[in-house]
Chains A and B, each alone.
Chain A
């Protein structure tokens, strides 16, 4: 159950890369070989023919899926990655302009998908990443055959007749707080991520690192997340979608899950018993069984 980094390991697609390198000079195509996978810290595991892409939300990194993905590795090729700016992604690749829209993150998903030649894969997105996957599936229609959205929200701020759960002023406050840097950790603790999550003896360096982000990037990610409005995109999704809604979630209330279900023609809504915003961590079994039921159909 060890994950191997594509850039260093010997998983199946590294052979594909070596083969590609024989045909094309990588120096002539900078940014095509390896670097996308390094940029997004892509890890692969599993043996299945169909791929399952796990995408983390605002706050932490791909470790969010640690209790979920192993359940699918026998049937699926597992693909995990960090969004640029989070986890062990290449912070040098962070571009404020590109990532000022969720489309920037969706482009990355499509790039990773193209890189790994994904077709008819399952996209599993948590929180804001559910919307990222939704945008990616619209952009590259044959790449994903279905979407699993954990705690999604197309808009966090209340609007005329729409209940998102937050007032504009509250989100402004969050952004102020983030810019104050009083929330969370000090700047000097910005991500220096060493070691291996599977080896807790290296834990000292890892303390807090899963959810530690550069404060300025965290603020921009929060801004693009909480000011986003993708309600109009919901109806454009035609592939089967599973909405996993927690019964008590501060960030994505049940009303939001129901709204999404109404708007998305080919969607299924499952209200989990789990509370909080991260059922993938607090109630992985429930998430796994709901996903299983969905993907086996």
Chain B
């Protein structure tokens, strides 16, 4: 049915449109090359299209063998692949062959072939259709080149990724070992700090007991200086402990209450005053409102600030302490002495930064770090202002969280 319609459509529309197809011309000038071979490969017929493409005069090809139109490599491939294939299946399709033109140039082609056999299956002749594949071959070559380039690029990429990964692994390993080392160190400090507390406590208790007994002035002075050193040492150990704990992930822990802070502050002043009898500490406490805070921690913070002021301040000048509760809790400790430079001020609250302290007056550099951590834990901050005359540390925190 479909066939019939097709034929009808192909039939000449009218007498005037009818053009007789010249089969001879179709063969000779078809848009593809035709070759007919004897079973042994000798050419018996070739059309003009093929002769034109390859540059041979029409008569010259007759009687020569197909091999002679191929280069050596093509011949080998034809003999080992295409000729047997043709015998086995009676045809081959889309085989790429390079013909050698009369001028020696290559003529890339795609070839289909069919074998014509007699009733007994004996080959009579072979027909070849040759399609010009110059552009296609060029395109294929471009594709191949692109694939090769891609392969090279992919190889490079792979190598880079591998290198990158190896480096990452190496640095990861280094980081891990660094981290482990740091953890070990801080654990060590924590244990050490803890073990130092007990002997300090017993020395402290001993000096208190001695002060209460009858002693002469000389012994009194010695006991005082022991006490001063013990207080300082106790502070250092506390700071060390807090630092280690903070770094170990515990942070500063608070026990919050609304207990009045003045007794705590006064106790710190008393303690430090007794350790520094030559210094003058002036206090002004105006604590009218209650503050939600951890008194022990506030005491530690204050002790750090006041201790610093006593250590670094000019001995002849008084250290002044103001504490007030208006819209927030403010605690200021001021001392006269050397100005703290702006650069130092920036890293003052970092651990182990010891400012421009004079030799002999150095601590661990943890005091201000711990103080600022305590301030942070209370939702507050510590400000520092320093002029040539006066250096003030001010702790501010909200009355309530």
Contacts A208-B85, A275-B40, A277-B79 given; does A184 touch B95 at CB 8 Å = yes
- List 24 A-B pairs, Cβ < 8 Å: A170-B72, A173-B72, A173-B73, A174-B73, A174-B77, A176-B73, A178-B73, A182-B108, A182-B140, A183-B73, A183-B96, A183-B98, A184-B81, A185-B94, A207-B92, A210-B89, A211-B82, A250-B76, A251-B79, A277-B79, A277-B80, A277-B83, A281-B88, A282-B39
Are B84 and A64 in contact, CB atoms less than 8 angstroms apart?
Answer: yes
**Chain B interface mostly:** helix
Is A58 among interface residues, defined by CB-CB distance under 8 A? yes
Alpha-carbon distance between A182 and B140 when the two chains are bound, in angstroms: 8
Is B311 among interface residues, defined by CB-CB distance under 8 A? no
Alpha-carbon distance between A52 and B39 when the two chains are bound, in angstroms: 29
- Shortest distance between the CB of B275 and any CB in chain A (Å): 85
Which B residues are closer than 8 A to A by beta carbons? Answer: 39-41, 67, 71-77, 79-85, 87-89, 92-98, 108, 123, 137, 140-141, 144
- Shortest distance between the CB of B96 and any CB in chain A (Å): 6
Residue interface bits A39-67, CB-to-B below 8 A is 1, else 0 = 00000000000000000011110011010
In-complex Cβ contact of B88 among A186, A210, A226 (8 A): A210
Contacts A60-B88, A278-B79, A278-B83 given; does A180 touch B67 at CB 8 Å = no
Are A281 and B80 in contact, CB atoms less than 8 angstroms apart?
Answer: no
In the A-B complex, list the 5 residue pairs whose CB atoms are closest, starting with the nearest: A59-B80, A174-B73, A281-B87, A170-B72, A277-B79
Is A93 among interface residues, defined by CB-CB distance under 8 A? no
Is A276 among interface residues, defined by CB-CB distance under 8 A? yes
Contacts A60-B88, A173-B72 given; does A208 touch B93 at CB 8 Å = yes
Alpha-carbon distance between A127 and B85 when the two chains are bound, in angstroms: 16
Chain A residue contacts of B73, Cβ below 8 A: 170, 173-174, 176-178, 183
Chain B residue contacts of A57, Cβ below 8 A: 80
- Shortest distance between the CB of A174 and any CB in chain B (Å): 4
Is A206 among interface residues, defined by CB-CB distance under 8 A? yes
Is A181 among interface residues, defined by CB-CB distance under 8 A? yes
- Shortest distance between the CB of A172 and any CB in chain B (Å): 9
Given contacts A174-B73, A276-B83, 5 further A-B contacts (CB under 8 A): A174-B77, A176-B73, A183-B98, A211-B88, A251-B76
Are A182 and B141 in contact, CB atoms less than 8 angstroms apart?
Answer: yes
Chain B residue contacts of A211, Cβ below 8 A: 80-82, 84-85, 88
Most buried by A among B71, B72, B98: B72
Is A166 among interface residues, defined by CB-CB distance under 8 A? yes
- Shortest distance between the CB of A180 and any CB in chain B (Å): 7
Contacts A166-B72, A181-B144 given; does A59 touch B84 at CB 8 Å = yes
Chain B residue contacts of A250, Cβ below 8 A: 67, 75-76, 79
- Chain A residue at minimal CB-CB distance from B79: A277
Are B41 and A60 in contact, CB atoms less than 8 angstroms apart?
Answer: no
Contacts A173-B71, A181-B144, A182-B137 given; does A203 touch B89 at CB 8 Å = yes
Alpha-carbon distance between A184 and B140 when the two chains are bound, in angstroms: 13
Alpha-carbon distance between A52 and B55 when the two chains are bound, in angstroms: 49
Are A174 and B76 in contact, CB atoms less than 8 angstroms apart?
Answer: yes
- Shortest distance between the CB of A95 and any CB in chain B (Å): 22
Alpha-carbon distance between A15 and B144 when the two chains are bound, in angstroms: 50
Chain B residue contacts of A66, Cβ below 8 A: 88
- Chain A residue at minimal CB-CB distance from B90: A200
Most buried by B among A57, A203, A277: A277
